[in-house]
Chain A
């Protein structure tokens, strides 16, 4: 099995500096090095962020991926799908803006050569005043035309059990509610998010088994370090991505479930490192960990 790597946690390291200094030349140097490190760690596939394309331009990203012999496993597009604007007119304008950006994301995915587009609802402001129904309605209304547009050009759109609980999209019940109302949308199974609502990762996989079109392998650990912007679970504990195999997720059972299912794509590793290991070493360790598990099933 060739596993893919989600670039998110690596790109954020260099994006942070770019946000402060807006030095594109430095960002390009760092991006090239990031891809060097990924490639040298033995990955052939990556799941990339819309943000990478927004900052660097699609032609540059494509050129760099080609140069590093990396193929795009999925394109991850974030937007404020759940937001309610100030009034009806502003809401309609926001709908149009998000749907148009979503269609552009479909074209970007096509251009990058992937058949999978992931839609990620962003939370930029406190949503505690919004009801679950309102949040779900906003997401469904905005995602539906994007999914339909993607379907026309042969791209599968996926959504996940988002870990920000303000979105009410993490439990099996909530994710089924939303996905059932968006024709043709499929599920990206994330092995870690549902622990925030105290659901079992293996049962969760089987709950969506026939709808899963993409897989994220993410380990989880509790944390007290707020600087890492952890996600807060229903019971008040804070959780963050753990180095693969170091957290609480039972990957042996999950990999067995995935391997025995109809999913035939490249599972995506969500990467985290520890202070004891350099990033290049930790990337190799993650890949080797899953390859070994997979081969033993």
Chain B
């Protein structure tokens, strides 16, 4: 698979792998020049951030200013996340407030891809569609869409957009990866398209080819290769509480064991197999990967070159 692809209303090539900036280092506002330089040097010029990731946008903004490379990068940011006290914020005032702050901290006047970090099903899709189109028409955002939005709501919004000659949601960022999200990692407002119950959603994404910008693609560390299926005690060392709640289950450990087996056969690494699997599912998938180790990021890129047969894909996902 090619490293770069196109997304409507983004006037640059978009790398299939996004660098996720929700690391402790970046959220805490620590200088991340070294890792950002390394990520870009290996060809990943698409960065994923959000207003809710505390100081991540500021770290990126300071780095872009220092390097003078804003126009070489594709920035994805998100707004409209519920407040720290749980108030829903999908409305014109709060979305604009978040976007203006994102622009300020990123030190830019536009964001290439802008997502609403959560949905609020009580707000009519028409209202949301009009807000996002207005922001696009003002030149502040390029492509837009939803993170953790259900297929049903995206389809409703896009039906409205098409009926009113407006731009629809052109990207979606749910959780997706080989590791099935079995328990609730964060809260029940997050949207995963893994597991048998979400087969219809995956078919919709395959039919529409709307870009799926998948987060937690490696099961929040489960498929990172840091620990092995024959030493599951390390789960507590390498996976935090949300990760364990979401992914530390027998079925996923079995998937991990099969990744290890196939990685050995093909002479590659577990995360490379897990990532490659995503790109063989018939959907238009992009993957957000976060690491503080530039070497590991370079190795992740090799996943794009790994060939998997349909049988191998089924075997990895326990469909044999």
Contact = CB atoms under 8 A, between A and B. Distances in A.
Interface of A: 10, 13-14, 16-17, 20-21, 23, 26, 30, 33-34, 36-37, 225, 275, 278-280
Interface string B20-34: 000000001100000
A97 B241 CA distance: 43
A20 B55 contact: yes
Contacts of B187: 275
B83 interface: yes
Given A20-B29, A20-B54, A23-B101, A280 B85 contact: yes
B55 A14 contact: no
B86 interface: yes
A280 B187 CA distance: 15
Interface string B74-86: 0000000001111
B162 interface: no
A34 B83 CA distance: 10
B238 interface: no
A79 B85 CA distance: 28
B160 interface: no
Contacts, number: 35
A26 B58 CA distance: 15
A23 B102 CA distance: 12
B83 A21 contact: no
A62 to B, nearest CB: 21
A30 B29 CA distance: 20
B87 interface: yes
B86 A278 contact: yes
B204 interface: no
A13 B58 CA distance: 19
B105 interface: yes
Question: What are the nearest 3 A-B pairs in CB distance?
Answer: A20-B55, A278-B86, A37-B85
A277 to B, nearest CB: 10
Contacts of B83: 30, 33
A275 B186 CA distance: 8
Contact of B84 (A20, A30, A36, A275): A30
Contact of B58 (A21, A36, A280): A21
Contacts of A16: 54
A25 B129 CA distance: 28
Contact of A21 (B85, B105, B241): B105
A21 B55 contact: yes
A16 B84 CA distance: 11
A13 B101 contact: no
Contacts of A30: 83-84
B76 to A, nearest CB: 20
Contacts of B105: 21
A281 to B, nearest CB: 8
A13 B86 contact: no
A26 B51 CA distance: 12
A13 B54 contact: no
Contacts of A21: 29, 54-55, 58, 105
Given A23-B101, A280-B86, A17 B54 contact: yes
